[in-house]
Structure 1
């Protein structure tokens, strides 16, 4: 039976007070998508607002030499232009899907980080022992999630990764962020944030049913870790 994966994208398109656009980051969905499809997985894509989930225009420009991203951009637009509204499926999602995945981009820092429906869905997947995965800024969706069984942060005691403070500084967006993801992940995990030896290198961490990747280079590896967890 084909595994069913729920992908949750951001609905947020404004990059803080910079006047620039943001959203989800192209290769962070495109690369896992290739892995999911090769494994025969069925995908449902949801977002807080439903409908069009904004694609970060910078990620399109940055990925124009990446065949996977270009193909995904040109052939799969319906996936992000016609997303399901998350609260419409939230109550049954953890029963109906086998894994949950949050791609990154700066958008999740502004909406998914504080979205109660998204947090409820993630908590429900975790309570059933199903994979909960995120890459780059996607782990912002997990920082506020509480484990319904313990009342503690879902990430407490978990080794995790996500976009590093050094990487945020390198792209010049430290001051535009509502919080720094590395710092928050380190706080809620109890000091168990880890990162690659150098910025922009791939880093994927699997701790129980929580799967996290540091940056765009980690996206394929996160997809592979999800598929492995489901096999």
Structure 2
């Protein structure tokens, strides 16, 4: 049976950006497993379950009643209760300041090679879910980068939605330090869709140990930490291309092994593309 691993932030995922590819995988009969940075249960962003919420850059609601319902139902179920613990699975890269740096590096690479050769072959694809939380604990998560590099090494597809695409830009060989999407065609959250204010995060991070977030369950960081479009334009380099498709209803790009989706409205398209890649050998789409 085809098995897909979903990487989800612990600081707030956008409902449809999980539901879209998850629905497609469920309908295709795939086995699904989840992984979060520390093994904590992921939390959906409240606004992604509110059809009345108008997305400021687009001036309209981007959440349907059906998607909001499905997100609430998933969150109320036990399906996300026991995700894999990424920190317990993939080791941390050693610091150069370590007095045993060379030996530590050798051991680190032995462990990574074992994960790639023994663990990852049981999976057929990786999906990186978007939402503002992905900026916090997925984009610059070196453990996730190693998983991405491993899937690419095994020639297995990696799909990413919205701010989840940032992890592809930052995933790179630690020696060459070149992005793995160099020379590729990708899409992602364009600057036209960036908030001026209201970038929020939610999750099990309250100081009192509760699961309500930051005491009241929400914190506003204003605009996004970085303009993802510019990050992606730089990462693909002169031989690649960022394709925002602003003004089009959907933007999904397949440039094997990568499947990238612009934002929440392209989440279901991402799921369809992933199934086409896995079941029908699709290697190029949208450019």
Q: 1:205 is paired with a residue of what secondary structure?
A: strand
In structure 2, C-alpha distance between the alignment counterparts of 1:36 and 1:219, rounded to whole Å: 12
Q: Which runs of 4+ in 1 moved over 6 A?
A: none
Describe the superposition over 1:139-175 as per-residue Cα deviations: whole angstroms up to 9, x where unpaired: 0221211158965311100101111101014776595
Rg larger in structure:
2
8 Å Cα contact 1:51/1:80 also seen in 2: no
In structure 1, C-alpha distance between the alignment counterparts of 2:262 and 2:185, rounded to whole Å: 12
Confirm or deny that 1:146 pairs with 2:146: no
Describe the superposition over 1:153-208 as per-residue Cα deviations: whole angstroms up to 9, x where unpaired: 11100101111101014776595322111110111111511111417x21000001
Partner residue, 1:9:
8
Partner residue, 2:228:
181
In structure 2, C-alpha distance between the alignment counterparts of 1:184 and 1:38, rounded to whole Å: 34
Q: 1:44 to 1:8 in 2, by over 3 A?
A: same
Q: 2:127 is paired with a residue of what secondary structure?
A: strand
Confirm or deny that 1:59 pairs with 2:20: no
- What does residue range 1-231 of structure 1 map to in structure 2 within 5 Å? 2-12=1-11, 23-62=12-51, 65-75=64-74, 77-90=77-90, 91=115, 92-147=118-173, 152-169=178-195, 173=199, 176-190=223-237, 192-198=241-247, 201-231=249-279
What's the TM-score once normalised by structure 2's chain length? 0.70
8 Å Cα contact 1:100/1:132 also seen in 2: yes
Describe the superposition over 1:94-147 as per-residue Cα deviations: whole angstroms up to 9, x where unpaired: 222100001110111121111110000001001111001101111022121115
Q: 2:254 is paired with a residue of what secondary structure?
A: strand
8 Å Cα contact 2:49/2:63 also seen in 1: yes
Partner residue, 1:15:
none
Q: How many residue pairs get matched?
A: 219
8 Å Cα contact 1:135/1:213 also seen in 2: yes
Q: Which runs of 5+ in 1 are unaligned?
A: 13-22
RMSD of equivalent CA atoms: 2.3
Q: Which segment is superposed worse, 186-195 or 97-106?
A: 186-195
In structure 2, C-alpha distance between the alignment counterparts of 1:171 and 1:196, rounded to whole Å: 23
Larger helix proportion of the pair: 1
